[in-house]
Amino acid sequence: MNTDDFAYDFDAPDSDWNHEPSRADLFRQIDAPLYTTDSDGWLTYYNDAAAQLWGFRPVLGKARWCGSWRLFEADGTPLPHDLSPMALTLKEGRMLRGVQVGLERPDGTRMAFMPYPTALRDRTGALVGGSNILLKVERPGRRIAFRSPLQGRPTLRAAQLSGMHRCSA
């Protein structure tokens, strides 16, 4: 193969041809609520969809584990933020999947969501933070009361007690 047969154009098509978007730029393009934390659980980023879900904008570096005002088990039991799925993921290295959690906004409205926290690690495997995508549970024409267990979904507390790290969604 003769390399003289190839023509190479070394000029860049435009000035930003090698631009790599920041993580925040990439996250802004995702419509689902998501946020990131450092390894200690302090919020480092959240997108507009997360702020809309939470009903306010928490201060980065001052909110820990989650940006929600208040959290609840599916049965209405208050859930401390330090026992939230993100907290368990960062503290214990296990990810809970398929559980429903409730949140309360500052205006008092409540809604259900399913968190999908993921530990972020560097090349050596050391924990450097976490990311969480929150999937809203919407039931048309029905308000979530958080008074009785949601059928077919384990509560977070039951998952913690059983040592379960994954369940069917």
The number of C-alpha atoms within 13 Å of 132 and in the hemisphere containing its C-beta is 35
Backbone dihedral angles phi then psi of residue 114, each to the nearest 5 degrees: -120, 115
From residue 163, alpha-carbon distances to 44, 97, 119, 159 in Å are 29, 12, 18, 6
Q: Cα-atom radius of gyration of the chain, to the nearest Å?
A: 21
Give the pLDDT of residue 89: 94
CATH superfamily of this structure's domain 31-162? PAS domain (3.30.450.20)
Please report the beta strands in the chain, taking only residues with DSSP state E, as ranges in sequence order. 34-38, 43-46, 70-72, 101-104, 110-121, 127-137
Residue 162: how many CA atoms within 13 Å on its side-chain side?
Answer: 11
Question: What is the model's pLDDT at position 41?
Answer: 96
Q: Which residues of the chain have pLDDT under 70?
A: 1-19, 23-24, 139-169
User: Which sequence spans correspond to the domains of the chain?
Assistant: 31-162
pLDDT attached to residue 156 = 55
pLDDT at site 132: 95
Nearest to 165 by CA among 81, 73, 92: 92
What span, in angstroms and rounded, lies between the C-alpha atoms of 56 and 69? 8
